[in-house]
Amino acid sequence: MQIMQSLFYGENETMANSQKVQLKTMQDILTLYPEAFDAEGNINLSNRPEIIELPLNMEVVRDLNIDGCTGLRALPEGLVVGQRLNARGCTSLKSLPNNFELPGTLILSGCTGITELPVGLDVEGGIYLDGCISLRSIPNDTRFGEILELTGCEGIEIPQDLLQKYAGFIIVPEGDYTVAPSEHPEREFSA
């Protein structure tokens, strides 16, 4: 575990002390945030802006709730979540691991720092990206089982193949978005 002191200017242009926390192991989480663990295998680290890093190969039996962790910059490689991942409002979050698989729902609503999704993203439940205003495109190999919510992702590029494959299950932005040409123009998809 590494705790770093930093100085920043607040809303009133006064200096304030702030700690940033890099969690290197599950033991670090248990030491600093023992209340984050519950008997069902969930980990709740919500509204902890001081967290900037989670442990590599972190495993969560059920749900991981990190909503409001505004200092978190990336989800770690090797992350395994048994059910649902809620990272709503993680405004500094820039990336997810490649080939990330999730048997439940992925909530990234309001993650304004995300510009792209990883290759091989596979979510059995829904993917909620509403308000991800910096997101520019969705990889063609993205898979989901319920819904792909893109409200507020103005200017995003959505692959034609994905729109055809998941017709009726993608909620597109109300404003501008573009459709990327099909990688397989001869192939027909059915939902």
Model confidence, pTM = 0.86
Q: Stretch 31-43: mean pLDDT, rounded?
A: 92
Residue 47 in any domain: the answer is yes
Residue 87 in any domain: the answer is yes
**Structure confidence at residue 12 (pLDDT):** 34
pLDDT band at 18 (very low <50, low <70, confident <90, very high): low
Give φ, ψ of 28 to 5 degrees: -60, -45
Residue 98 in any domain: the answer is yes
Does the pLDDT of residue 185 top 70, yes or no?
Answer: no
Does the pLDDT of residue 11 top 70, yes or no?
Answer: no
**Structure confidence at residue 8 (pLDDT):** 36
Does the pLDDT of residue 92 top 80, yes or no?
Answer: yes
Average pLDDT, the chain: 87
Q: Which domain holds residue 38?
A: 2-6+15-180
Residue 104 in any domain: the answer is yes
Residue 188 in any domain: the answer is no
Tell which residue, 135, 168, 128, has the closest CA to residue 153: 135
Q: How many domains does the chain have?
A: 1
pLDDT band at 191 (very low <50, low <70, confident <90, very high): very low
E strand intervals along 12-77: 15-22, 43-44, 51-53, 59-60, 64-65
Residue 185 in any domain: the answer is no
Does the pLDDT of residue 156 top 60, yes or no?
Answer: yes
Residue 186 in any domain: the answer is no
Residue 187 in any domain: the answer is no
**Structure confidence at residue 1 (pLDDT):** 56
